Amino acid sequence: MNLEILPTRLAGAPENMAIDFLLLQRYPNGGTPRFRHYGWHAPAFTFGYSQKIAFVRGELSARADSSTPAFELCRRPTGGGIVDHREDWTYALVIPRGHALEEVRASQSYREVHEALAAALRIQGVEAVTKLAADPDAGEGGPAGVCFQQAEIYDVVHPRSGAKIAGAAQKRNKHGLLFQGSIWRPAAGAVDWDKFEADFTAGLAAALGTTAEPVPWPELNEDEVSGLTEQYSSPEWLAYR
């Protein structure tokens, strides 16, 4: 069993969210974990499955000004807060049902993935550690509301300033675990992202007890991809809560 590394692809926000979800629903055949790094066709924000759209629009409106370009907005299938993808490095990891890392508590899987991420950044001289204590007074405007505004436990941060570098959200169902993560490039600084991906996926593979192996793009059902992309593009999905 290997950690399969899919090719990098660009897509719009609804399609990226649809593909991540379908990788969890349809692709973990044979108990093989899979990883993909991807980009965005246009400026995009995503937000957590349980967040209220009124809160999301209010937060984004408060941060906008006359120079803010148009952007895509999409509700994720995972939890977490609002994520700005305009300058991030985005990835998804699927761990099939029954794997040891899928069976641990959500906090433990979150920590192990971020330990591998922080280690890959440190190889390039970036000061990065996982945050080991939660902030007791964090409210809606904090980590649960807007990602990168404030770090929560086991996020990747700068050890001296506490500034957040990377965060993520998870979804667990009968098929396994979907981990959607984001690294804020300006916070990380000067990074060779190709080398980072190689080091990060090697670290993830070690945590999973396997090795990383590049593979071709999977044969997902295109009708299913387009159908779910359409759903994630709809006003009904956006305003689900």
DSSP strands (E only) in 99-230: 129-130, 156-157, 164-173, 176-184, 211-214
* pLDDT of amino acid 133: 79
Share of the chain above pLDDT 90, in %: 74
| Segments forming the whole domain that contains residue 156 | 2-63+70-238
Query: Average of pLDDT values for 159-172?
Result: 93
The answer to whether residue 65 scores a pLDDT higher than 70 is no
Query: Average of pLDDT values for 170-197?
Result: 95
Q: What is the tens place of the pLDDT at every residue in 17-42?
A: 999 999 999 876 667 899 999 999 99
Count of the separate structural domains present in the chain: 1
Gap between the Cα atoms of 85 and 179, Å rounded? 16
* pLDDT of amino acid 146: 64
**pTM for this predicted structure:** 0.91
| CATH number of the domain encompassing residue 55 | 3.30.930.10
Residue 29: left (phi > 0), alpha (psi -120 to 50), or beta? beta
The answer to whether residue 77 scores a pLDDT higher than 50 is yes
Gap between the Cα atoms of 66 and 125, Å rounded? 37
Q: What is the tens place of the pLDDT at every residue in 83-132?
A: 999 999 999 999 998 888 888 889 999 999 999 999 999 999 999 999 98
Give me 199's structure tokens.
Answer: 């080091």
Mean pLDDT score of the chain, rounded to an integer?
A: 90
Gap between the Cα atoms of 239 and 181, Å rounded? 23
The DSSP code sequence of 208-233 is: HTSEEEE-PPP---HHHHHHHHHHHH
* pLDDT of amino acid 142: 44
Gap between the Cα atoms of 199 and 184, Å rounded? 18
